[in-house]
Amino acid sequence: MKIFITRVLPPAGLAMLERAGVQVTQWTERRGLSHDELVAHCQQYDALLLASDNTIDRAFLEQCRHLKVISLLSVGYDKVDIAAANELGIPVTNTPGVLSAATADTAFLLMLASSRKAFFQHKRIIRGEWGFSEPTANLGIALEGKTLGIWGLGSIGYVMAQRCVQAFGMKVIYHNRGRNEAAEKELGAQWVSFEELLAQSDVLSVHTALTPETAGRFNMTAFSQMKPSAIFVNAARGAIHHEGDLIAAIQQGIIWGAGLDVTNPEPMQPDNPLLEMPTVAVLPHIGSATAETRNAMSEMAAQNIIASMKGEPLPNQVTSL
Ligand X SMILES: NC(=O)C1=CN([C@@H]2O[C@H](COP(=O)(O)OP(=O)(O)OC[C@H]3O[C@@H](n4cnc5c(N)ncnc54)[C@H](OP(=O)(O)O)[C@@H]3O)[C@@H](O)[C@H]2O)C=CC1
Only segment of 20-28, 31-39, 119-127, 171-179 that touches ligand X (CB under 6 A): 171-179
Instruction: Tell me whether residue 66 is one of the annotated catalytic residues.
Output: no
Report the alpha-carbon distance of residue 193 to residue 195 in Å, rounded: 5
CB 154 within 8 A of CB 180: yes
Under 8 Å between Cβ of 282 and 256: no
Decide if 225 contacts 193 (C-beta within 8 A). Answer: no
Stretch that binds ligand O=CC(=O)O, among 1-9, 28-36, 70-78, 174-182 (CB under 6 A): 70-78
Peptide bond into 10 cis (omega under 30): no
DSSP state of 43: T
Chosen residue from 90, 110, 156, 161 binding ligand X by CB under 6 A: 156
According to DSSP, the residues that pair with 191 across neighbouring strands are 174
Using CB under 6 A, pick the residue from 24, 49, 51, 75 that binds ligand O=CC(=O)O.
75
Could you tell me if 206 and 175 are in contact, meaning their C-beta atoms sit under 8 angstroms apart?
no
Q: How far is the CB of 295 from ligand X (least distance, A)?
A: 15
Residue 261 beta carbon to ligand O=CC(=O)O: minimum distance, rounded to whole angstroms: 8
CB of 287 to ligand X, least distance (A): 2
Q: Which of 237, 241, 242, 294 is catalytic?
A: 237
Cα–Cα distance, 269 to 303 (Å, whole number): 37
Q: What is 86-144 written as a DSSP string?
A: HHHT--EE---STTHHHHHHHHHHHHHHHHTTHHHHHHHHHTT------TTSS-----T
Q: Which of 42, 50, 99, 297 binds ligand X (CB under 6 A)?
A: 99
Site residues (CB under 6 A) for ligand X, limited to 60-89: 75-76
**Which x/- pattern, by CB under 6 A, does the window 25-64 give for ligand O=CC(=O)O?**
----------------------------------------
> Which one of the spans 1-9, 63-71, 74-82, 192-200 is the region binding ligand O=CC(=O)O (CB under 6 A)?
74-82
Helix and strand numbers, DSSP H then E, in the chain: 12, 12
Residue of 14, 69, 90, 99 interacting with ligand O=CC(=O)O (CB under 6 A): 99
Position among 162, 201, 288, 304 found at the interface with ligand O=CC(=O)O (CB under 6 A): 288
Site membership for ligand X, residue 175 (CB under 6 A): yes
User: Which single residue brings its beta carbon nearest to ligand O=CC(=O)O?
Assistant: 76
122 is catalytic: no
127 is catalytic: no
Closest-CA residue to 231 (of 212, 210, 254, 252): 254
Q: With 0-12 CB in 10 A as exposed, 13-18 as middle and 19+ as buried, what is 88?
A: middle
Give the residue numbers marked as catalytic.
237, 266, 285
- Which residues contact ligand O=CC(=O)O by CB under 6 A? 74-76, 99, 287-288
